[in-house]
Amino acid sequence: MIPLKHRNLLAMAFVMLTLSFQAGHARTTGQAGAIWGADYFPNIPLITHEGKEVRFFDDLIKDKVVVINFMFTRCPDVCPLETARLREVQKILGDRVGKDVFMYSISIDPEYDKPHVLKAYTERYQVGPGWLFLTGRQSDIITLRKKLGMYNPEERGGNLRAHSLSLLIGNQSTGRWMRSSPFENPYVMATQVGSWLHNWKLPPREGQDYASAPEVRTLSPGESLFRTRCSACHTIGGGDLLGPNKEKLGPDLYAITQKRELSWLIRFMKEPDKMFEEKDPLSMALLEAYDDVPMPNLSLSDRDIEQLIAYIEEESRRLGAPENPQGGPDSRGADDSTKKSQ
């Protein structure tokens, strides 16, 4: 039996090989970009967060390298994390976004997500130029998602939280498309859309080659979880993570188990949305201290939380944290940033 993670990698490789073969065949027959062209993509009308009407094919993806995801602003869990991760990708790509790479986030809750709501969302997450948030008719958006293979039938009846978590990245002119996880390393995703999908025509960064690459080490489950779920908003020992406009994204988690009562910390990692609903004092202080951007519910299991805490403690000790027990004397107090907000 092949392990599940290996099967997933093989499946992705097969999809990429198939798409590349089909695109290659189209080029040899003079039909480059015609496999998935105007006859395939629904040219539905959409409205940007700036209030401009556009067409999906004609204005958004034709002859472009694009990143597309579906989200909704009232999402309490993964959408904020996905937005934060894509913001990292945008920051890495810099001013290329809007010039040779284009980013689109399309709402699956258009009845609520009107242009002014999306505009406020972009301001809240400090979204830069070249990344559009879009809304439109619900029926049109469902048609588009089905055509892109990104519609989950479990959403019927209004269960928006069941929506597909995948991103779609591609180059319409070459016909190369692939799905990507919202938890993908931002540098990997930036390389995919910035180099792979441009057929490697862009020069590599100076001084970077495989010969000088460091040896890859095996990550613990906790470190892997931290890198994919937490690093968009948190550091361990690197200080509060700041956004492009110096806004605070999330607190430094260095020695966090010595600053917080362990039972509180575990519950906050497991169900922060419920703690915000209950107006938990420390949760509300953190919300105020970090620009009212809530900690999303990441659907972490008890085992996930155990592994994350173990990694945070291990990394904190490596950086010099004392060997204090979890939930030490200062566990019920707040750190400096939250004390100022209480």
The pLDDT averaged over each successive group of 10 residues in the chain (342 residues) is: 45 45 45 66 95 96 94 81 86 91 94 95 88 96 90 68 74 88 79 79 54 67 85 85 65 92 94 91 88 79 94 92 58 41 38
Kindly provide the b/e burial profile for residues 283-308, where b requires at least 16 CB atoms within 10 angstroms of the residue's own CB.
Answer: bbbbbebbeebebbbbebeeebbebb
Confidence at residue 155, expressed as pLDDT on a 0 to 100 scale: 67
- Six token digits for residue 287: 């919300």
pLDDT of residue 52: 96
Cα 323 to Cα 325: distance, rounded to the nearest angstrom: 7
Backbone dihedral angles phi then psi of residue 101, each to the nearest 5 degrees: -135, 135
Predicted local distance difference test score (pLDDT) of residue 247: 61
In this prediction, residue 312 carries a pLDDT of 94
The radius of gyration computed from the CA coordinates of the chain, to the nearest angstrom, equals 22
pLDDT for residue 202? 52
Phi first, then psi, for residue 225 (nearest 5°) are -65, -45
Helix, strand, coil percentages for the chain (3-state, nearest 5) = 45, 10, 45
Nearest to 64 by CA among 54, 52, 53, 50: 54
What Cα–Cα distance (Å) separates residue 217 from each residue in 70, 224, 226?
34, 12, 16
- Quickly count: other Cβ atoms within 10 Å of residue 229's Cβ: 21
CB 261 within 8 A of CB 331: yes
The confidence score (pLDDT) of residue 5 equals 44
Kindly list the structural domains of the chain, giving each domain's residue range(s) and its CATH number in brackets, ordered by start.
23-198 (3.40.30.10), 221-339 (1.10.760.10)
CB distance 204 to 180 below 8 Å: no
- Residue 200, amino acid: W
Q: Which of 170, 201, 193 is nearest to 61 (CA)?
A: 170
Give the integer Cα–Cα distance in Å for 216 and 220.
13
H or E, element range at 103: strand 102-107
Return the closest-CA partner of residue 219 out of 227, 209, 210, 230.
227
Residue in the block written with tokens 């400096």:
336
80: its two tokens: 């904020």
Half-sphere exposure for 221 (CA within 13 Å, toward CB): 10
* Residue 164, pLDDT score: 64
Identify the pLDDT of residue 229: 79
Angle at 222 between CA 302 and CA 322, to 5 degrees: 100
Give CA–CA dist 173/154, Å, rounded: 33
Nearest to 196 by CA among 184, 211, 183: 184
Distance spanning both ends of the chain, measured CA to CA: 55
- Residue reference for tokens 């993806």: 61
Output the 3-class SS for 271-336. Answer: CHHHHHHCCCHHHHHHHHHCCCCCCCCCCCCHHHHHHHHHHHHHHHHHCCCCCCCCCCCCCCCCCH
